[in-house]
Amino acid sequence: MRLILASSSPRRREILKIIGLKNFEIIPPTGKELKVNSPKDVKANAILKARSVERGLSCKGEYLIIASDTAVFVEKKFLGKPKDREEAKQMLATLSGKWHTVYTAIGIIYRKFKKRVLKTHLDFARVKFKELSDKEIEWYLSTEEPYDKAGAYGIQGFGAIFIEKIVGDYFTVMGISPSKLYKLLVNVLGKEKTLNLFSP
């Protein structure tokens, strides 16, 4: 079976390697994503990513595509990836001293000849930022870490020093939850076939 991660995110690649998922290819998704105005849009974007990769496959046999999308919700608005330094600065100032919600959706497409299954799962976690000074924000912007991440921070990098509390799955904040992914795979493939995808 061809196993594909539809992502350009180093964090998601790292998570799949950590949990022993073996022999997966990486194909970055293409095409436009929806502007996120609700959690449903996060789910829709995960599937859009998976479908964009599926369209480019010449393989008509058995394959499994895994995709994921993440968005940050704070003060009644969703934050995606910042367009530039100024927007990243504004996002960090908004998160400073507050709780926010991180939504991560996983989408998978499994195909074996005429059988095609599409499944999604949406998870969320609550995160509390410490109060950030202007100097701390400027320092963090200088690390270059904020610019390719939803909400302009990475919990697995320098941004970890600003996190006071998490309620929920750490990996959901990072970009893909192994336990939620496993549950989806078992639902589609069955337990035995799913376990065979992982190295002991």
**Catalytic residues, which ones?**
69
Q: How many CB atoms lie within 10 A of CB 157?
A: 15
Cα–Cα distances in Å, from 82 out to 58, 88, 152, 174, 183?
34, 5, 6, 17, 32
Picking from 154, 185, 149, the residue whose alpha carbon sits closest to that of residue 66 is 185
**CA neighbor of 12 nearest in space, from 84, 95, 104:** 104
**Which of 175, 132, 181 shows the shortest CA–CA distance to 9?**
175
Distance (Å, whole) CA 190 – CA 112: 14
- For helices 134-142 and 85-95, angle between their N-to-C axes, nearest 10 degrees: 140
Please say whether the beta carbons of 72 and 102 come within 8 A. yes
CB 82 within 8 A of CB 146: yes
